[in-house]
Amino acid sequence: MTPDILVFGEALVDFVPTRRGRLRNVSGFELHSGGAPGNVAIGCARLGARAGLVSVVGDDEFGHFLRHAFQTEGVDVQQLRHAAGQRTGLCFITLDADGERRFTHRGGAPETLLNVGDV
């Protein structure tokens, strides 16, 4: 597939709590693909566009989870690169009683390794 739309940037794993509350009180999470560029690519694919994601993730289980999640959503991942020795970024999201989101990031920013050769 040749994408009509290429989205560049961060792809990370969102840990979304199974209930509202502070991070220290959360007992479980659901894993979702995340990062604004990744979300845009999924949104475009869901609207029927041929969307591709250009990003770098770690060569770890989270990076492979993302590849599968984007593929399942119909996003072209030919230009999603796994970087050896890098950790895929993680984001823990909590929802307070008012539904306000709070974000806690775990390091790892392999998308900063994007270069001209990735295009």
CATH number for the domain spanning 72: value is 3.40.1190.20
Which pLDDT score, from 0 to 100, does residue 101 have? 84
Tell me the sheet residues that pair with 93.
103
Mean pLDDT by 10 residues, the chain (119 residues): 90 89 84 95 98 95 97 96 92 82 75 62
Which pLDDT score, from 0 to 100, does residue 23 have? 76
Which pLDDT score, from 0 to 100, does residue 97 have? 74
Which pLDDT score, from 0 to 100, does residue 20 have? 80
- 47 in a structural domain: yes
Which pLDDT score, from 0 to 100, does residue 2 have? 87
Listed residue (37, 34, 39) closest to 9, CA to CA: 37
- 76 in a structural domain: yes
Which pLDDT score, from 0 to 100, does residue 106 have? 79
- 26 in a structural domain: yes
In angstroms, rounded to a whole number, what is the distance separating the alpha carbons of residues 90 and 104?
8
Q: Which domain holds residue 59?
A: 5-114
Which pLDDT score, from 0 to 100, does residue 94 have? 85
Number of domains in the chain: 1
Q: Strands, DSSP E only, in the chain?
A: 5-8, 12-17, 29-34, 51-58, 80-83, 90-95, 101-106
> Is the CA virtual torsion 46, 52, 58, 61 positive or negative?
positive
- 119 in a structural domain: no
- 37 in a structural domain: yes
